[in-house]
Structure 1
């Protein structure tokens, strides 16, 4: 499992380590790792470090020092290194001395040409956007230069991923000791590029502020049939979805549930003919279920069906889309079984009573706020999907922009409902469903199974995502 830690936690671990090390040793470790990554990138781009043009944007803090010391290492390997301080009077003295001793130079303005630019303007303690002096340097980064951020892109909040104004868009971010939440959560995550972690010996607590599942974690959580399993033991999902206007939502939610491992699916709603035409194995009408999925394509005027599902306090319920309208926090909090809410940013904003822009700018705060208000697990859909439950927040590392297509969320709801019926908690069902759904989206789009969120591929439709879910299961189990 990949874990991310808050600035406060990282700072405390750094202080404990520095107390045991000679002065400057921790910064030397960070600079060595940073320089090694930069050398590797330059070798890929130009075939060698020697003769490369490197520009250091140096802030007054430790990030500026890391950049200067790393620049000194690159200068000793023959790179032409130029440091541009944000505030010349406050540039890191030790790093500056090391750079000059290695043959580097200092300039007042950013050179017009560079092979690589190191962003060391602000550190993980930066808040509230870039100062004008830093923003001016960022605007002058030469076109075509490879941009490497030190610890995180300047202008991104390390704890939340929020971006208040101008910020660096990096091709690569080299972070030290631990991932920070802002590297994994949008809008900050969209500015990090590829993230490289450099270990520096920090001792961190077991409980992290943010988690990201990986294949082994998902494989451990997947409910698998045994030799004595039957369709009822595997879990029956009740799907209350679709309407005359949106019959496809019912079909897609059922598809997600069937492909998500449910032993059987019961459908309740006006789109039974469309569902049976596509999936004749579906049971129609109410009956005993191990989880309910309510809301996709439900339309207006059917709030009673949502209330009926929530009133069965001992059966897990997933509420999505139209089912979220006017949702009563007290009704949800009174339930004994798991409740999983799956809003997108607009629906989350309505539940919180804030503007959509506020949710999109502060996704971590929004998902935590919803989980706290409703006492439920919450899956906040988006470019980076977040799942909050019981004080733990998980960020989904899989996916592709091609998943931003009509009906994709209906498939996700059915899939998560099947996992609830299979015995997973609300938080685990949401996180595993998001992971498999993102992976299936990549397979359906023909994108690489690993890599950045924007890795390759071609357009897909929601039915293709559902059809690719078995391949996602096999990939995880394999």
Structure 2
């Protein structure tokens, strides 16, 4: 059972989409020409709609490569011309290369019946540059999912030029060069992908190069979909519990925040604000160091300059009475604090959230542990790369693989914070798309962890709480950007979380 505010979508992983294409032709006897015609016409339909929305009078430029993605481009161009849109076609290959494929030769022959504005290019020239610079829309159909090596020569030159232009750019299937090691890639404003999302679209390293993504359907056999695709849950807006007039402050679970040290005095405040503004009704803060401005609505307990196992033993009642515990924000890296974190995660029948410096201490004890409680970690990419022992580049390019391997080994649920965020619970991936620059600030993660505590205390299970905390955090980030500006301090975020709890507010965002 998935949270109601998610949409299940299919995606093709790695090289699965080319194999799916081949299986459609060989096993189901669908002509390759028909597959190309369907894909090109559907992308052409999207491109024509976009052209009209842009409301410009200049031609559309279609740039085709030597392979089947280029063949799609030839069909796209024909569709646009048939629908009255002036179109100039550039082919970054020789006619002989196109003619090596009967299907691509057929598409070129058909296009030549509609227009003479078809130009074969071996290098960038003045005419090509001017046509691109003055176009209403550029459609890039150089390479799709079959490209296997870094772009060079004319292809790299074309992408270099396109990336300097402010003209809207639409990539057919995927932006050329995307995800290829050491390759330049198109920075598209729009990507019109065939049949399914592609796994690379969910990679923080590459997602920003795709722009707005839409999926066009071309009637692949359902049996192939089942064999060659996987699913992911896209997170939409938060779905929050209805107010219960019979609730009191003890109705929800009690939450405990263990945060701070002598060097990080603001972390307890931010985590507590995230919990309170997220709707938690009974919040206890155990803070080390000299915390600043603990919200007066919290029950406050003072620890020493840093946490140690003594703080756990001397305040056993706090841990016994709490249903949900957050530790990590501002803890620092004192070796004695590792013992404190270990005692917390050894608690049975507790849900424990570990963030920030708590992840450092978790890493010290991870290899020898099985965990009796339910643990959710909330790292950013750098923290998770260190914790999982993964190269940062691999994590950014293959986040789902790394997260799944980590869960398989430790049975710890993961919220990975990045330009786009993931939640994985061992069964399904949840994905929150979109980079929100306002949230890229110190303290943002403390507030997210506090908001997750609040969702749990409102009676939501871990999946619902994680999905809603991510959605609420992202929505509040957008609201804060709109209301205060992208450079406003992160202290504005909890207030915006509280506002987004009102359905009327987040529907406006």
Tell me whether the two structures share a fold, i.e. TM-score over 0.5: yes
1:78-477 superposed matches below 5 A: 78-86=85-93, 88-91=95-98, 92-103=104-115, 104-108=117-121, 109-110=123-124, 111-113=128-130, 114=132, 115=135, 116-130=137-151, 132-141=153-162, 143-157=165-179, 164-202=182-220, 203=222, 204-205=225-226, 208-215=230-237, 218-219=238-239, 222-270=240-288, 274-276=292-294, 278-284=295-301, 286-287=318-319, 288-301=321-334, 302-327=337-362, 328-329=365-366, 334-397=370-433, 400-446=436-482, 457-475=485-503
CA contact (8 A) 2:174 2:193 kept: yes
CA contact (8 A) 2:259 2:330 kept: yes
CA contact (8 A) 2:18 2:145 kept: no
Aligned to 2:39: 30
Tell me the distance in 2 between the aligned counterparts of 1:90 and 1:459. 52
Tell me the distance in 2 between the aligned counterparts of 1:66 and 1:375. 44
Which of 72, 76, 95 is the matching residue for 1:70?
76
Compute the displacement of 1:17 (Å).
Answer: 6.5
Structure 1 residues 22, 177: closer, same or farther in 2, change over 3 A? same
CA contact (8 A) 1:17 1:201 kept: no
Structure 1 residues 20, 436: closer, same or farther in 2, change over 3 A? farther
Tell me the distance in 2 between the aligned counterparts of 1:350 and 1:293. 21
Tell me the distance in 2 between the aligned counterparts of 1:243 and 1:128. 49
Aligned residues: 457
Residues 148-171 of structure 1: per-residue CA shift (max 9 Å, x gap): 1011111224xxxx7642111111
Structure 1 residues 432, 124: closer, same or farther in 2, change over 3 A? farther
Residues 162-204 of structure 1: per-residue CA shift (max 9 Å, x gap): 7642111111111122222322332211101121222333444
CA contact (8 A) 1:6 1:181 kept: yes
Q: Which stretch of the first structure deviates more once superposed, 116-125 or 23-32? A: 23-32
CA contact (8 A) 1:238 1:268 kept: yes
CA contact (8 A) 2:193 2:215 kept: yes
Tell me the distance in 1 between the aligned counterparts of 2:139 and 2:279. 47
Compute the displacement of 1:131 (Å).
Answer: 5.1
Q: Name stretches of at least 5 consecutive residues in structure 1 with no aligned partner.
A: 448-455
Aligned to 2:52: 43
Residues 24-78 of structure 1: per-residue CA shift (max 9 Å, x gap): 3333232222112222333344535xx61413232312x2111110111223325
Tell me the distance in 1 between the aligned counterparts of 2:278 and 2:421. 18
Structure 1 residues 331, 443: closer, same or farther in 2, change over 3 A? farther
CA contact (8 A) 2:270 2:491 kept: yes
Structure 1 residues 149, 273: closer, same or farther in 2, change over 3 A? closer
**Length-normalised TM-score, structure 1:** 0.86
Aligned to 1:452: none
DSSP-derived class of the 1:153 partner: coil
Tell me the distance in 2 between the aligned counterparts of 1:10 and 1:226. 48
Compute the displacement of 1:9 (Å).
Answer: 6.0
Compute the displacement of 1:415 (Å).
Answer: 1.0
State the structure with more CA Rg: 2
DSSP-derived class of the 2:250 partner: helix
Structure 1 residues 367, 164: closer, same or farther in 2, change over 3 A? farther
